[in-house]
Chains A and B, each alone.
Chain A
Amino acid sequence: MPDASRPMPGAASLLPLEISSLRYDVGEDRLIDNISLTIDSSGISVIMGANGAGKSLLLRLIHGLLRPSGGDVRWNGSALNLATRQRQALVFQKPVLMRRSVAANIDFVLKSRDGQDRQRRDQLLQEAGLYRQRQQPARLLSGGEQQKLALARALATEPEVLLLDEPCASIDSASTLQIENLLRQTRERGVKIILVTHDIGQARRLADDVVFIHAGRLREYQPAATFFDSPKSDEAGAYLQGRIVI
């Protein structure tokens, strides 16, 4: 449920996300090939594609963790800088938790932003269903719990844009369900979400629109209903039918 006592972070201020002629090369290989794309919608945008399509790379380029070989990324007209980056948070496929307690992992982020706030921390842990485990060492949590903690930590930064890289790739279905619910709640609060997944089911459950990439190229960008009913590209069609595309 939206929390009325907190200001609704308006996604509008960072959007649109404008990606123009984006390239990323490693040696001779062009891993991201001339992608241009503008995302101006609220809700959940899902980046789909087969393994190796360049989804995670694209996400890192969008977030500014990697420097593009060419082209650029602009958030509401401004280039990636500390100010725009601080308003985003990224949840990695494999959570990197600190060698501290569950609560201390959240505290660390809170302290680096608005200052330590015990109430806020407890609220985040409760929302993630981790309040009971708050004193436990974070790295002894199960895979699903660790990912929920990573999500709670990302939300602790109060991002306007939340980026997720295959957050449910290797966790149990109960945790997946909880994470998806958390994402829906987060969407309700007006946070823009960009989710990388190759789980078609998850994409169908969550996506408001879909970016489909193949071999480093943008294949299509469609509202979710359109994409799943009648994909334009052959690759997307094949992917949705579960065929292997090379």
Chain B
Amino acid sequence: MKSRTRLAALLTLLSLFGDSHAVADSIIVQSTTSTANSGLYDYLLPLFKKDTGITVNVVAVGTGQAIKNARNCDGDVLLVHAKSAEQKFVVDGYGVSRHDLMYNDFVFVGPPTDSARIAGGRSAIDALSKISTHKARFASRGDNSGTHKKEMALWKKSAIDPTSASGSWYLETGSGMGATLNAAVGSGAYTMTDRATWISFKNKQDYSIQVEGDSELFNQYGIIMVNPEKCGQVNQAAARQFVDWMLSAKGQDAIAAYRLNGQQLFFPNAN
């Protein structure tokens, strides 16, 4: 106990240099990157703060990382897009309950040369088969994120194991969506991305959407409050207020109202 107080004193001293974030009314949201990089939070959070006075600090990482951080109790709310992983998070006791929040969809983007001839198709499975037959380059997130999980599920449905070609035509970047898009654009590879990230992405060069509209490409976002029984330090009141607000008519309308380049990026579907 004594060494603990000494350590506390030392770290308090440190705090003189770098004051802590422990503002009474603030929460940490462990979030997927697409919602942050597309500017959605920049639009929503000031509205929320005006209503409640609560500051929301967003840590934007891949879905896999976000869930892991939340399992370490390093967040008050989880906002990601990998339904089965989210459900497991709740079943394991880390989340209070999971709610559908909003959706958009995934798309396949590629270069104008389109060596695998996928442009204009509507089937994701079909596109993946063509890419693998042509051994056309495909950039995968490879980072256990929501997008990566979806991509792997699609490969599985098409009965192809692309990882055996890892390093030849199948490129696992192990990075976020933005970095993977940069890698794809830089090396002439196809990739799969959520629409929000694609629309807000600024380094498209001559790339365009080539496959879209498949129901398989549906992308559901969920919101979960981290369980205070598992993580004692969760700011319960503020976290609950945030989740409730996002699911309320007001929050849902705000999500629908957000536009980038005139396009709606997220479609609210809380029930």
A and B touch in their complex, CB below 8 angstroms: no
Which residues of chain B have a CB within 8 Å of any CB of chain A? none
